[in-house]
Structure 1
Amino acid sequence: MTTKPYLTGHYIPAVDEITATGLTVEGHLPPELNGRLVRNSHNPKPGVTPTHWFKGSGMVHGIRLRDGRAEWYRNRWVRTPALDGAPYMTEHGPDLTASVAGTHVIEHAGRLLALCEANFPFELDAELETVGAYDFDGKLRSAMTAHPKTDPVTGELHFFGSSPFPPYLLYYIADAKGQIVHSAEIPGATASLKHDFAITRHHVVFIEGSVTFDPAEHSGIPYGWSDAQPSRIGVMPRTADGAARIRWFDIEPGNMLHAANAYEDAQGRIVLEGPTVDREGFQLSWNWWVGAPGRGTEPNTRSYTRRWVVDLAQGRVDEQTIDDLAVEFPTLNEDYVGAENRYTYAVSFPDQDGYGGYGVVKYDRATGARRVHQAGDARLPSEAVFVPAEGAANEDDGYLLTVVSDLKQDASQLLVLDAAGLDRIATVHLPRRVTGGIHGSWIPDTTDQ
């Protein structure tokens, strides 16, 4: 029996691929939910024990909803060279196609892409079968972040490629048709781990934390905390010459994996928020990710929401922790990406003292209120994906879709929650317990589907 925590409990991998149709629904699915929820997970093949949770091969899970029915569930491994054991490092350098493709899955310009930040994206078809590595017709010359941002105004896809070796940071824009129309090397970047970033209406915001390249780390993910690595925020204008005008601002030591959002406030300051860990919090998560002895707790136990306000005119940053609940995987109504949003959602976790628990959290940034939909005993919800309601008039008019892993029942359900009050609207019973995973997207139907 394995002792690796990321292969036990909620994270026991699925051993095969299945397709099930005509899923049972409790309650009433909103009829405007026409599309597919797709979500990624680290899911090594049977008999494979990766040296780090992040090294587990990607498996995408999909649930098809239409006209108030749950038509199908299916799960498929992303069939990359790494799934069959191909190494990332070769005698010719990194193989950017040797991806686990297990972090995120998005849609842009009609392409469904499974993402892992060290590699090229992998394209999937509508039924989650692998098409192959995708390099934007040869214009992608680096790895691609697993957290690109779609500008809701222009339809552009903003993303970056990072590396522990120069060039440390490359920035790209793909237009609404999927063609890369801009790329630039970002000066001043370091080997710090850059997992996520943010955009505002007028700026790109990069985050460098205290976790950086560590050649002594042998888990297969060569990063570790370094007190000597400064934490910084980079603010770059969204202009053709923006890279030459980037400014870096020092912040307190920490590491933020996922940005909730960023925007310019009425004074022109950059406001950035996201769950952040300190040195101890990072080490607790890392111990779980690598299966170190004496791990004690699971990830995210000291992950608290932090806010930075970057005053470009004064050249300073104010920062504060704004909540004491351990959360991760922040989401929002994506119509507000880059603009001031009132509501943010997240998944809560028990902290190292047992405070909190699994749940879906809603933050009201205007009032400071926090509401929690408790998942229940031994029930882990996935990242809550916001889907706007038809004819929505308010920011939180819509639904949150989350897949729950229920250990006691050895089962999973798709929960549809009212985003305004977090009340449960419908439950879709899935044919298997879905492995605890990471990020996903709602892919709405288009007229040709």
Structure 2
Amino acid sequence: MTDTASTAAAEADAPPIYLAGHLAPVPDETEVFDLPVTGSLPPELVGRYFRNGPNPLPGEKLDHWFAGHGMVHGIRLKDGRAEWYRNRWVRTSLLDGHSWIADDGSRDRSVTPANTHIIEHAGHLLALCEGGLPYEITSELGTEGPRTFGGPLSNGMTAHPKEDPETGELHFFGYGSQPPYLTYHRLSPTGELHRGETVEVPGATMMHDFAITEHYVVWLDLPVTFDLALVGHSLPFRWNDEYGARIGVMARDGEPTVRWFDIEPCYVFHVGNAREDAAGRVVLDAVRWDRDTFRTSWSLLGGSKVHARHQGSAVSAVAETGHSTLHRWTFDLATGSVREQAIDDRGVEFPTLNDNHVGRNNRYLYAVTEQLTDVDSEAALIKYDTTTGTGELHHIGADRAAGEAVFVPAADARNEDDGWLLSIVSDRSGKGSDLVVLDAADITAPPVATVHLPRRVPTGFHGSWIPDTELEHVS
């Protein structure tokens, strides 16, 4: 057999990239107590770190990485010890085999993988996925069921709600393939749904994230749109050159009137933060994907049915296309102008910050270098100083992949970066995983502590640190 034929045969037998290596799902649920730790866990870390991500059932066929059933991985820390690790599927109606279509022909929003994020609000733990209702879970990772907050959520709930650090309100939205395409909601600090508004947009876009500031909501109306022809074959969204690209600024209070700013075509999965500057302008920092980078990566993850047969060429195309990079848009509400600028040219994703600065001035953002494939030899966590655009690196290594870095404020914090970063790091080969704890004020230093997990944790999506003080009323 020729080298070309051997390579083609190997590619034909290879699984899709999202079912192999550090992305591969695990086949079961488990729990282990008294985990080994290298270094010293800060004793003030008393709570649970939860991380959500897609994990199809054994043997289940998927057309896209994003479609797998949600599985939450949890690590319990207390008194300088790692008391336990456990993983559980979110027991959704989709996991039970229910159809997306209700008996009356409508979309059943309780049928969702609940696979993208997990947050706490008003004493409730919520597993989130933008396609449907949130699912409430217990502090031990049992599933309670879908939650509607006592009101209709016609378009579900984004996986990226924003809690205002001063008011305690939770801002979120839902989008759908039929009008109303976009709805805006707000929960009170105690969990009551007390605002719901339709926001007018021309079509069904895949709006994964948004932002808030002290006085505004920032909307991302970008050219990745619903395509009916893809229903039943994959996630039904594609890049749409005809849709255009714009970002909207809407007052948080009053009528839902949006001031729209046209921008260069791009897509944004994840926002770092937004704020109002001294001149009253709205400043948004987010990770920007250009057209070619988005389309090639979306294909690699299954969006265009690119699976094992073309995996090698698709990986090479991602490497050659470009990167998703940290970008800034500044919106002048007085003049109607917008300024766009790159903050950095390194490929990154999953931007996070000290949540006490959501919607307010922040100096630091944390991100993960792109590591979808093994072509990236600089796997690292990055700490950005957004005032200077500089970044400091904590190198992970080419043979490992880091998950989103969650910031935990120190108990005696005086500075924005006084605290810890938590990230699950996994071998690219799929051999094992660790929970790494870094000093956020000195990200270049070796880890403060490393919790050695009893099993591999697939590189997934988003998570939260939930201190015990926020779980007092959670069952």
**Counterpart residue identity of residue 250, structure 2:** M
The change in CA–CA distance for 1:391 and 1:189 in structure 2 (over 3 A counts) is: farther
Name 1:431's counterpart in structure 2: 454
CA–CA distance in structure 1, aligned partners of residues 51 and 188 of structure 2? 24
Name 2:24's counterpart in structure 1: 12
Selected match of 1:341 from 359, 362, 385? 362
Selected match of 1:222 from 215, 222, 236? 236
**Distance apart, 1:21 and its partner CA:** 0.6
CA–CA distance in structure 2, aligned partners of residues 247 and 313 of structure 1? 11
* 1:284-433 alignment, distance < 5 Å: 284-290=296-302, 292=306, 293=310, 294-297=313-316, 302-349=323-370, 354=375, 357-408=378-429, 410-422=431-443, 423=445, 424-433=447-456
* 1:48-447 alignment, distance < 5 Å: 48-90=60-102, 92-218=105-231, 219-241=233-255, 243=256, 245-290=257-302, 292=306, 293=310, 294-297=313-316, 302-349=323-370, 354=375, 357-408=378-429, 410-422=431-443, 423=445, 424-446=447-469
CA–CA distance in structure 2, aligned partners of residues 351 and 389 of structure 1? 31
CA–CA distance in structure 2, aligned partners of residues 53 and 130 of structure 1? 23
**3-state DSSP of counterpart to 2:75:** strand
Question: Which piece of structure 1 moves more, 71-80 or 369-378?
Answer: 369-378
**Distance apart, 1:350 and its partner CA:** 5.1
Say if 2:51 and 2:72, in contact at 8 Å, map to a contact too.
yes
CA–CA distance in structure 2, aligned partners of residues 153 and 289 of structure 1? 38
**3-state DSSP of counterpart to 1:295:** helix
**Distance apart, 1:171 and its partner CA:** 0.3
Count of residues in correspondence between the two structures = 447
**Counterpart residue identity of residue 374, structure 1:** H
Say if 1:325 and 1:356, in contact at 8 Å, map to a contact too.
no
> Greater share of helix residues, 1 or 2?
2
Say if 1:156 and 1:175, in contact at 8 Å, map to a contact too.
yes
The change in CA–CA distance for 1:179 and 1:86 in structure 2 (over 3 A counts) is: same
The Cα offsets for residues 161-203 of structure 1, whole Å up to 9 and x where unpaired, read as 1112210110000000000111111123531211100000000
Q: Tell me the TM-score normalized by structure 2.
A: 0.91
**Counterpart residue identity of residue 242, structure 2:** A
CA–CA distance in structure 2, aligned partners of residues 208 and 139 of structure 1? 24
Q: Tell me the TM-score normalized by structure 1.
A: 0.96
Name 2:3's counterpart in structure 1: none
Question: Which piece of structure 1 moves more, 346-355 or 274-283?
Answer: 346-355
CA–CA distance in structure 2, aligned partners of residues 333 and 379 of structure 1? 25
CA–CA distance in structure 2, aligned partners of residues 437 and 224 of structure 1? 22
The change in CA–CA distance for 1:189 and 1:271 in structure 2 (over 3 A counts) is: farther
The change in CA–CA distance for 1:128 and 1:194 in structure 2 (over 3 A counts) is: same
Name 1:30's counterpart in structure 2: 42
Say if 2:289 and 2:324, in contact at 8 Å, map to a contact too.
yes
CA–CA distance in structure 2, aligned partners of residues 350 and 99 of structure 1? 27
CA–CA distance in structure 2, aligned partners of residues 210 and 154 of structure 1? 33
CA–CA distance in structure 2, aligned partners of residues 357 and 87 of structure 1? 42
Runs in 1 of length 4+ with deviation above 6 angstroms? none
**Counterpart residue identity of residue 145, structure 2:** G
Question: Which piece of structure 1 moves more, 170-179 or 289-298?
Answer: 289-298
- Which runs of 5 or more residues in structure 1 are unaligned? none
**Distance apart, 1:89 and its partner CA:** 3.1
**3-state DSSP of counterpart to 2:271:** coil
The Cα offsets for residues 347-406 of structure 1, whole Å up to 9 and x where unpaired, read as 002599956632111101122221111111321111000000111000000000000111
CA–CA distance in structure 1, aligned partners of residues 337 and 24 of structure 2? 46
CA–CA distance in structure 2, aligned partners of residues 261 and 329 of structure 1? 12
- Which runs of 5 or more residues in structure 2 are unaligned? 1-12
Say if 2:36 and 2:82, in contact at 8 Å, map to a contact too.
yes
**3-state DSSP of counterpart to 2:298:** helix
Question: Which piece of structure 1 moves more, 355-364 or 172-181?
Answer: 355-364
Say if 1:163 and 1:169, in contact at 8 Å, map to a contact too.
yes
CA–CA distance in structure 1, aligned partners of residues 79 and 374 of structure 2? 44
CA–CA distance in structure 1, aligned partners of residues 57 and 324 of structure 2? 30
**Counterpart residue identity of residue 302, structure 1:** H
**Distance apart, 1:85 and its partner CA:** 2.7
Whose relative contact order is higher, 1 or 2, with alpha carbons under 8 Å and at least 6 apart? 2
CA–CA distance in structure 1, aligned partners of residues 93 and 270 of structure 2? 28
